[in-house]
Chains A and B, each alone.
Chain A
Amino acid sequence: MSETQLILRGAISLSNNEKKGFLDKETTRREFLKLSGKGIGGTFISLSLLNLLGCTNTNVEEVAAFPLAQGVLIADRARCTGCLRCETNCSLVNDGKAMPYISRIKVSRNYNFGTDGPKLAYAYEDGAFGNKLMSPETCRQCAEPYCGKACPVGAISTNEIGARVVDEAKCVGCGTCTKACPWTMPTVDPETMKSTKCVNCGTCAANCPTGALRIVPWEEVKYAMRKLGYKA
């Protein structure tokens, strides 16, 4: 059986615990992506799996995938058009207000000049003023969460679907999590003084107008397998 078949076969019958395990196994491979300089990072995913799930992008450094309870979350920066709806939807659903600053998916902060900001050669680098590529940044749900380990009050823990979440009752708004995260993802909400952090709710993907963030439900993965000749 090919690697793809194994992954998919395994994926469909995964229990919640096993899905979590899948998550843990994959996240340790993410370190190298930080050095790649690209605007996105996540699980290393095989091209064949990507293709199966409808993604034509063959540049693995620019596509990331995360298994969630609902299905596989795929993030493809080539499809991101910078509409920023993910940011307002995230904060609306999770915080009841429109506040991109605390959105758990970060796009607008990289809009003009990419993840590392303006530079002399801006016209050729990432961003609207350069090569037109957007840099949507998602939480990596790290196996060894930098944010969680750094939190002085132990407010960050793992929930039943494998997301690293903030317990608001414990959070004191010190901002250590923000500084500890290599990608500066958790953000302390200046209006509540609580850290906001991705909980894998999937709202961003459900509403992305181009499927740059996309959740492929496990049922669809099963259907995709059958189409390619794998019978359960």
Chain B
Amino acid sequence: MSTGGWAGKIIRVNLTSGKISSEDTSKYQDFIGGMGIGYKVLFDEVPAGTKPYDEANKIVVGTGPLCGSGVPMSSRTNITSLYPGTDMNLVTDSHMGGNFAAFLKYAGWDAIIIEGASSKPVWLRIEDDKVSLEDASSVWGTGIYNTTAVIGSKMGKESCVAAIGQAGENLVNLSVIMNGSSHSAGGHGAVFGSKKLKAIGVIGTGSVKIGKDKKELMDLDAYVMKEIVGANNQHVVPSTPQPWSEFVYENSRWTAREGLTWGASEGNIDTGIAAPGDVNKVGYRTMKAIKDLGPVAAKYTVRMGGCQSCPIRCHAQMNIPQLEQYGVSPYAANTCMGWFSPAGVMFKGTKDQKEEGDGNMITRALGSQLADDYGVWCNYGSIGRDFAYAYESGIIKKVLPEEEYNSIPWNLLEAGDPAFLKEFYRRVTFKEGEFSHLGDGTYHIAKRWNFGADYFDTKKYSMWSPLGFPKHHASDESYQVGAIINCMFNRDAQSHSHQNFISSGLPVDVLKKIAEKLWGSGDAIDPPANYTPMNEYKAKFAKYGVIRNCLHDSLTLCNWMWPLTASPLKERDYMGDTSLESKYFSVVTGIDTTEEELDLMGERVFTLHRALTVKEMGTTDMRGKHDLMVNWVFDIDPDKKPFTEGTIKMDRDDMQLALTMFYKEMGWDEKTGAPTRATLEKLNMKDVADELAKLGLLPA
């Protein structure tokens, strides 16, 4: 019986009937929250064969028991629904950080289950226990920024608003739901749009209770802040030589150093020397603007920002006056792919305007501004690569009607003029012409425009799965481990557990020592570009990666930081603390839970995802129909052999063995990779097993 964490109530809103009701969260407690609630609702309530824009589709906006409790890195919202970007309308998750999850908890709610469809544009208004549907006609047709301001003026400045832009309204497959000025969840914007749900506004004046003594929570925080937490992506080594570290790793996100400033801040704030143990400097460790926008960006950085409860601050907040010439605000914010994907669209490069590198910066910032307001998603960068391929192969000239082709200012693209982005994002958002089908998603556009096989088979286009999604820390960086993880979901994997550890900045011998303690042997880790055949330790590492990812999306915690596998302290042999999730869970909910017990809950959530995918695909043959990899994975480096120094080329048989070993770890059928009755029942999901059995979808 929990005494803290969960709010205990879930909003269910039926947009067809307008009915709003409250449900008890305890029904979902075994699935924790967030992703867990999402999958359970979709498995139980959305029939296989439902399409994303059907009225019968549901969308679950979920938080978990840790959200709002003050646990570090804990305000992520997990959104679960069917995803229109690939062929089979399979379930995916999108995530948005910011304040929304915490604010929803303070309003007294764990999740929102949205079903049906409204005939008129509406927005959902949540003020503590007062929940209502409001007329959204005044904001329908406007961007996310304006929508947030209008709803803010209706509800009050304290509100947090999650909204879709015109892209979601127009049912562009690649669209987002965003809260705050930069925290966007990709892939489900149009599901909201199909339901004519424009936004959710929330004000909460309540509290998140802590099951145990607050001192235990504060003590855990002190321990984490002083000894365990690193920089963005839990990198634990500085990117330039620093007096406090024996190591240096230039690609690390621990960028703090003297002379690297938030250049547009009052006082030109120096990130300075931010050593581990200095708890009041954690927020300076990651000066992400120079990583995302180039060194020139330092002087345009107002500050760093990010999600509620997180000390890391990985969203750069910029003041770039040059943006005004394009008709947008000079103040832009984003992180990672949000900046990178517009650069991918401007694949011919960008022309510098006044100083070296400013062309690249302005392009990224302009693209971010446009995409975030229109609410366009990038499919983890694929939208730019789809476009680049179509253009360079001559396909675009072939498939666009002549008049439309001639109306597009290709000269801007060729000249590296970011003004091209205004055309790009507007056309995609408002479905202008054939060109706008770039917003359909790789699977669809490749089919529609008849892309060659070379699109999927060339590494530089970053595709991973023939189902139509790109790689996200896959075989290219962690061989069998990354490959397994990237096969497991229905969109790009969004799993950083494994990658963060490998890229933490520690040399491979140190990583191996830690791996031995955690997964049984240092053989779980390969030196970079020098990998070895599959072994059971890699299977365990892969399982750790995926289970923790699902656990975090249910608790919720930010998987871009958690798990805290490594630590920056030499005194700890750089070993982090993998029991922290369970420790925080125990303190916040009041339910004593060991690391193994909590991992089992994560395993339950992930297995449910698998069961749901089986149900939606109508087959148990996950190995043959779902866990697929494109050919470059195996065919790059034609002069090299797998398992030799200097190549990331994988071996097909070895990868099948890798899958088998992983299936074994998960207790799934070793031939097909489908969950077995035994495993489902062990995980307390007999009802899921029964349902699959009814549909003939349990492995033999």
Mark interface residues in B98-132 (1 if CB within 8 Å of A CB, else 0).
01001100100000000000000000000000000
Task: Report Cα–Cα, A218/B265, bound state, in Å.
Answer: 28
Complex: chain B residue closest to A101, CB-CB: B205
Question: Judging by beta carbons under 8 Å apart, are A118 and B267 in contact?
Answer: no
Chain A positions within 8 Å of B221 at CB level: 89, 207
Chain A positions within 8 Å of B217 at CB level: 92
Task: Report Cα–Cα, A91/B69, bound state, in Å.
Answer: 10
Question: Is B210 in the interface zone, CB < 8 Å from A?
Answer: yes
Task: Report Cα–Cα, A117/B317, bound state, in Å.
Answer: 20
Q: A93-B218, A99-B106, A133-B302 are in contact. Are A117 and B153 (CB under 8 A)?
A: yes
Question: Judging by beta carbons under 8 Å apart, are B283 and A209 in contact?
Answer: yes
Task: Report Cα–Cα, A59/B267, bound state, in Å.
Answer: 8
Q: Which residues 570-590 in B have Cβ within 8 Å of A in the complex?
A: none
Task: Report Cα–Cα, A191/B69, bound state, in Å.
Answer: 17
Question: Which among B305-313, B350-358, B561-569 touches the partner chain?
Answer: B305-313
Question: Judging by beta carbons under 8 Å apart, are B267 and A56 in contact?
Answer: yes
Mark interface residues in A34-53 (1 if CB within 8 Å of B CB, else 0).
00000000000000000000
Interface centre among A92, A131, A133, A210 (most CB of B within 10 A): A210
Question: Judging by beta carbons under 8 Å apart, are A128 and B333 in contact?
Answer: yes
Task: Report Cα–Cα, A134/B160, bound state, in Å.
Answer: 15
Question: Judging by beta carbons under 8 Å apart, are B70 and A85 in contact?
Answer: yes
Which of A79, A92, A96, A117 is B156 in contact with, Cβ under 8 Å? A117
Mark interface residues in B200-219 (1 if CB within 8 Å of A CB, else 0).
00001111111000100110
Question: Judging by beta carbons under 8 Å apart, are A83 and B306 in contact?
Answer: yes
Question: Is A66 in the interface zone, CB < 8 Å from B?
Answer: no
Q: A88-B70, A122-B149, A211-B281 are in contact. Are A117 and B157 (CB under 8 A)?
A: yes
Question: Judging by beta carbons under 8 Å apart, are B218 and A117 in contact?
Answer: no
Q: A83-B283, A209-B311 are in contact. Are A98 and B157 (CB under 8 A)?
A: no
Chain A positions within 8 Å of B319 at CB level: 131-132
Mark interface residues in B532-559 (1 if CB within 8 Å of A CB, else 0).
0000000000000000000000000000
Which of A84, A109, A207 is B308 in contact with, Cβ under 8 Å? A84
Question: Judging by beta carbons under 8 Å apart, are B313 and A78 in contact?
Answer: no
**Which bucket holds chain A's interface residue count?**
35 or more
Q: A59-B267, A96-B214, A128-B333 are in contact. Are A83 and B309 (CB under 8 A)?
A: yes
Task: Report Cα–Cα, A113/B160, bound state, in Å.
Answer: 11
Mark interface residues in B308-337 (1 if CB within 8 Å of A CB, else 0).
111101000111000000000101010000
Question: Judging by beta carbons under 8 Å apart, are B331 and A130 in contact?
Answer: yes
Chain B positions within 8 Å of A124 at CB level: 329, 331
Q: A113-B149, A118-B149 are in contact. Are A83 and B310 (CB under 8 A)?
A: yes
Main secondary structure of the interface of B (DSSP, over half): mixed
Interface centre among A108, A116, A130 (most CB of B within 10 A): A108
Mark interface residues in A68-99 (1 if CB within 8 Å of B CB, else 0).
00000000111111111100110111011111
Task: Report Cα–Cα, A194/B331, bound state, in Å.
Answer: 40
Question: Is A67 in the interface zone, CB < 8 Å from B?
Answer: no
Chain A positions within 8 Å of B269 at CB level: 56-57, 78-79
Mark interface residues in A109-128 (1 if CB within 8 Å of B CB, else 0).
11111101110001110001
Task: Report Cα–Cα, A95/B70, bound state, in Å.
Answer: 13
Q: A89-B70, A112-B148 are in contact. Are A79 and B303 (CB under 8 A)?
A: yes
Question: Is B279 in the interface zone, CB < 8 Å from A?
Answer: yes
Task: Report Cα–Cα, A206/B157, bound state, in Å.
Answer: 28
Question: Is B145 in the interface zone, CB < 8 Å from A?
Answer: yes
Question: Judging by beta carbons under 8 Å apart, are A93 and B329 in contact?
Answer: no
Smallest CB separation, A115 vs chain B (Å)? 8
Q: A79-B269, A129-B149 are in contact. Are A98 and B68 (CB under 8 A)?
A: yes
Smallest CB separation, B636 vs chain A (Å)? 41
Which of B157, B210, B303 is A78 in contact with, Cβ under 8 Å? B303
Smallest CB separation, A213 vs chain B (Å)? 9
Question: Is B392 in the interface zone, CB < 8 Å from A?
Answer: no
Chain A positions within 8 Å of B103 at CB level: 108
Question: Is A229 in the interface zone, CB < 8 Å from B?
Answer: no
Q: A98-B207, A210-B284 are in contact. Are A129 and B148 (CB under 8 A)?
A: yes
Task: Report Cα–Cα, A55/B265, bound state, in Å.
Answer: 13
Q: Which residues 102-157 in A have Cβ within 8 Å of B in the complex?
A: 108-114, 116-118, 122-124, 128-133
Q: A108-B99, A112-B157, A209-B279 are in contact. Are A81 and B210 (CB under 8 A)?
A: no
18 contacts between A and B (CB under 8 A): A56-B270, A57-B266, A76-B267, A78-B269, A83-B283, A83-B309, A84-B102, A88-B309, A96-B214, A97-B208, A98-B209, A99-B207, A100-B102, A101-B206, A109-B158, A123-B331, A124-B331, A209-B313
Interface on B for A, CB 8 Å cutoff?
68-70, 72, 99, 102-103, 106, 145, 148-150, 152-153, 156-161, 180-181, 204-210, 214, 217-218, 221, 225, 262, 265-270, 279-284, 302-311, 313, 317-319, 329, 331, 333
With A99-B207, A207-B221 given, can you name 12 additional A-B contacts, CB distance below 8 Å? Answer: A78-B269, A88-B68, A95-B207, A99-B206, A110-B157, A112-B180, A123-B329, A123-B331, A124-B331, A128-B180, A132-B331, A133-B302
The 3 A-B pairs of least Cβ separation, nearest first, read A88-B70, A57-B267, A117-B157
